[in-house]
Chains A and B, each alone.
Chain A
């Protein structure tokens, strides 16, 4: 089964914060986050490995709770360029890195 993301869609004003969640029914090895703009390829944001680490990249960070098989993506002080659909991609064990993508979250940032 594919991971479930929440919310399905969110509209924010520029400068507001957002949290996107990704939940899996399977034990996970890694969680990958991508942003995709309409008509374009997914763009890699970050990867989190089993171990509950949190990573950050400028104003975008993420966490991975391996006990709950959940990951969250945090977007702070959102910018117009953050608009797009966010997907989490998960793997279940090291060595087999095919990604199972989540249901997606559409983020719209308005001025």
Chain B
């Protein structure tokens, strides 16, 4: 078990460009979450999947953001027409939902996006 991995770790792009990030969860985990974190703040929920189904998307997320999790394995987060306000750390977390217990979410190292 190598934990949650994310690629790339850093991305610098120009305003208006599209970017795509990838997250590989812990192999047996059925839930996958995307969060965004800006400096000095806690992570902010973006969206989450159970297997391949996207169950919820934050109202704060504009139409420029889209996420997929084909076949319930890895996930991608795409941002179209990036803006400077999109600069942040994008964190992925995964968990295993089983029975009636709480959901321990394990985070990946994140992708730091800088929009120039």
Does the CB pair B42–A101 fall under 8 Å? yes
Question: Chain A: how many interface residues by the 8 Å CB criterion?
Answer: 26
A 80-111 binary contact with B (CB < 8 Å = 1; else 0): 00000001010100101111111110000000
Does the CB pair B102–A30 fall under 8 Å? yes
Does the CB pair B41–A44 fall under 8 Å? no
Per the bound structure, the CA–CA distance linking A48 and B104 in Å amounts to 10
Does the CB pair A47–B56 fall under 8 Å? no
Nearest-Cβ distance from residue B113 to partner chain A, whole angstroms? 15
Per the bound structure, the CA–CA distance linking A29 and B101 in Å amounts to 11
Does the CB pair A97–B45 fall under 8 Å? no
Q: Does B116 sit within 8 A of A, measured CB to CB? A: no
Binding site for A on B (CB under 8 A): 31, 33, 35, 40-45, 48, 55-56, 91, 95, 97, 100-110
